[in-house]
Amino acid sequence: HFYDTHLWPQRSSGACTRKTSESQASGLPEYIKIVEVGPRDGLQNEKVIVPTDIKIELINRLSKTGLPAIEVTSFVSSKWVPQMADHKEVMRGIERHPGVQYPVLTPNLQGFHSAIAAGATEVSVFGAASESFSKMNINCSIEESIEKFEEIAKSARNMDIPVRGYVSCALGCPYEGNIIPAKVAEVSKRLYSMGCYEISLGDTIGVGTPGSMKRMLEAVMKEIPLSALAVHCHDTYGQALANILTAIQMGVAVVDSSVAGLGGCPYAKGATGNVATEDVIYMLNGLGINTGVDLYTVMETGNFICTALNKKTNSKVAQASFNTGTIH
Amino acid sequence: MAAARGLLSRWAVSLRPVSAAAAAGAFPKRVKVVEVGPRDGLQNEKNVVPTAVKINLINMLSETGLQVIEATSFVSPKWVPQMADHTEVMQGINKLPGISYPVLTPNLKGFQAAVAAGAKEVSIFGAASELFTKKNINCSIEESLERFDEVMAAARAASIPVRGYVSCVLGCPYEGKISAAKVAEVSKKMYSMGCYEISLGDTIGIGTPGSMKEMLTAVMKEVPVGALAVHCHDTYGQALANILVALQMGVSVVDASVAGLGGCPYAQGASGNVATEDLVYMLNGLGIHTGVDLQKLMDTGTFICNALNRRTNSKVSQASCRL
């Protein structure tokens, strides 16, 4: 069937290898690492509290798709984020597949120690390019938050634990509006200098366009090597794939996404949030870029979690595929 | 949080095009947006829309700054019930100066009816897939284009510009993969017949920036880029990324449908046309001039969605909705 071979080139012999030379010829990366944030960023922004065993099954299924990194949970106080209250149980309950990273969020040193005790082998810290956002979200200035992260980075270094840094509001802030690229570069540099191996630049409210993405990346690339950069685009204004394309045209080779596009936008009621992993993979497959991820298995996983959440998928690829009867 | 929402809803509107100097050098400075909502959009909506609503929709679109609004289709109501009121719509709309209101004409009879009803521009449809043509209009591509010879001759005699559409340029629901060479061949034929512009349609939205680039590279060998347009469907969420690549290659005419009206007849429940609001939002962010007022466009989208009793397919609209 046409859709079968088109959607899943890995299943038709030779299709993927032929296309690899296409990506080389076009100047795009040959390989892109996809960081799956559905279980953390996705579920955190879903209204329905998901039982621990469902979370564990979601992550176990994602582990079988070929995804190289899956953000598992957040060691934050359950008072602030009830959805992540079961962080220890989830961390201890998941299967750990070799070759797959399972980072967790750690907002402070206490969370970091708790994460390590629960078996975490990689952590993430969240900064922002906006003072207002930093104040409203974690009740301190950017500088104060950086100081907290430096404590974590120091402990992490002593224990050989890699740390990923996030910069929120990279293309705009729900409170301040426009964010200047120089500020994003400055915060990114602070996180990179303290030892974060990768900086994920987040368009937190999805307002960015290829224009602002390009300007922001140009500024950040002056301070951080390209290989240490990732983009985390929200699809709230439908711009995510165009923004991601722009980033990969500039050489970025790490992209964050969320299975089934889980996670709405807390700043625009009813609007969407994370870009759907399925839609990203579809685009990358079409560009001949290798991800190591099997689109079909991701779609099945998306179907699983949407059924559990009793909601429709936000992935257009999944919507189109289920409705042509290609998935059973 | 309320302050944040307020800011967000104003965001889309306040996003004026940045200066040309700040925009990426590879893009066109201006893009002509061809609004296909009233025809392609409504044609693929289940609910039949009353004539008065169609007329109001087109009139509202005429106030947004759009320069081209595809008004209706002079096709037999037996085939397309939604377009049965083509004559009333054509005669009922306000035709503002500087705005073009093209209509579809599948044959000479439709062309004559269109001109009699006041049409000043028409469109004809071809396809890059033999099987699609056979299933759709029961003849070969060659035969379908021959049928248009009469329309082209009549249009030439009446000084009526003709736009040509090529369907299935990035894939066909029956044949699967479509060769870029075939798309180039059909486009060249239609351009030689006298079409002033060729709109290349990803009919089932299956294309990606990779296949878009490959297809355009082939077509641009046969048709000047200034005469090309892209008509992307968002069924797989790829539309804006595909449009971005087309712009980077020099295409400066893009079709879109207000509120993303029009589902996909080949994938039940899936979306079809790319939403004009989302396209304009992206073009504004790139500093590309369109002349379109995004707020007025969103208001028009709200109107037609209420009339159709459906949610908008435009993400910009969803994010900006009044709370």
State pLDDT tens for residues A305-320. 999 999 999 999 999 9
Q: What's the pLDDT at A12?
A: 34
Residue showing tokens 């559409």: B165
Residue B40 vs residue A25, higher pLDDT: B40
Closest residue to B11, CB basis, from A207, A269, A317: A207
Q: What are phi and psi of A234, to 5 degrees?
A: -100, 150
Strand B228-232 with A123-128, pairing = unpaired
Most A CBs within 10 A among B13, B213, B230, B238, hence the mutation to make, goes to B238
Residue A265 vs residue B184, higher pLDDT: B184
Q: What's the pLDDT at B16?
A: 46
Residue A80 vs residue B242, higher pLDDT: B242
**Nearest-neighbour CA in chain A from B3: distance (Å):** 7
Q: Is A233 assigned a catalytic role?
A: no
Separation of alpha carbons A204 and A223, rounded Å: 21
Q: Is residue B248 within 8 Å of residue B257, measured between CB atoms?
A: no
Q: What's the pLDDT at A208?
A: 97
- State in Å, rounded, how far the first CA of chain A is from the last one: 14
Rounded to an integer, the average pLDDT of A106-111 is: 95
Contacting A residues, span 157-186, partner chain B, CB-CB under 8 Å: 172, 174-175, 177
Q: What's the pLDDT at A16?
A: 40
Separation of alpha carbons A62 and A74, rounded Å: 17
CA closest to B266 among chain A residues:
A324
**The A104-105 sheet, strands edge to edge:** A69-70, A33-36, A254-257, A229-233, A198-203, A163-168, A123-128, A104-105
Amino acid identity, position B226: G
The model's pTM is 0.92
**Nearest-neighbour CA in chain B from A266: distance (Å):** 9
Taking 80 as the threshold, does the pLDDT of residue A323 lie above it? no
Residue A315 forms contact with B (CB below 8 Å): yes
Q: Is residue A6 within 8 Å of residue B206, measured between CB atoms?
A: yes
Residue A89 vs residue B76, higher pLDDT: A89
Closest residue to B323, CB basis, from A246, A269, A319: A269
Task: Note whether A282 contacts B208, CB cutoff 8 Å.
Answer: yes
Task: Note whether B237 contacts A214, CB cutoff 8 Å.
Answer: no
Residues of chain A with Cβ-Cβ distance to B9 below 8 Å are 268
> What ipTM was reported for this prediction?
0.91
Summarised one tens digit per residue, pLDDT across range A136-173 is 988 999 999 999 999 999 999 999 999 999 999 999 99
Q: Cβ of A186: how many Cβ atoms within 10 Å?
A: 16
Q: What residue ranges in chain A does DSSP mark as E strands?
A: 33-36, 69-70, 104-105, 123-128, 163-168, 198-203, 229-233, 254-257
Task: Note whether A283 contacts B1, CB cutoff 8 Å.
Answer: no
Q: What's the pLDDT at A21?
A: 57
Q: Is residue B191 within 8 Å of residue B183, measured between CB atoms?
A: no
Residue A132 forms contact with B (CB below 8 Å): no
User: CA–CA distance from A178 to each of A130, A138, A181, A195, B277 (Å)?
Assistant: 9, 20, 9, 28, 21
CA closest to A325 among chain B residues:
B267
Task: Note whether B176 contacts A282, CB cutoff 8 Å.
Answer: no
For residue A232, give the 3-state DSSP assignment: strand
In chain B, which residues have pLDDT < 50?
16-24, 322-323
For residue A302, give the 3-state DSSP assignment: helix
Taking 60 as the threshold, does the pLDDT of residue A197 lie above it? yes
The tokens for B116 are 């009699």
**The B253-256 sheet, strands edge to edge:** B68-69, B32-35, B253-256, B228-232, B197-202, B162-167, B122-127, B103-104, B72-73
Residue A237 forms contact with B (CB below 8 Å): yes
**Nearest-neighbour CA in chain A from B88: distance (Å):** 35
Taking 90 as the threshold, does the pLDDT of residue A84 lie above it? yes
Question: How far out from the chain centre does Cα B163 lie?
Answer: 11
Q: What's the pLDDT at A265?
A: 80
Taking 70 as the threshold, does the pLDDT of residue A95 lie above it? yes
Q: What's the pLDDT at A8?
A: 43
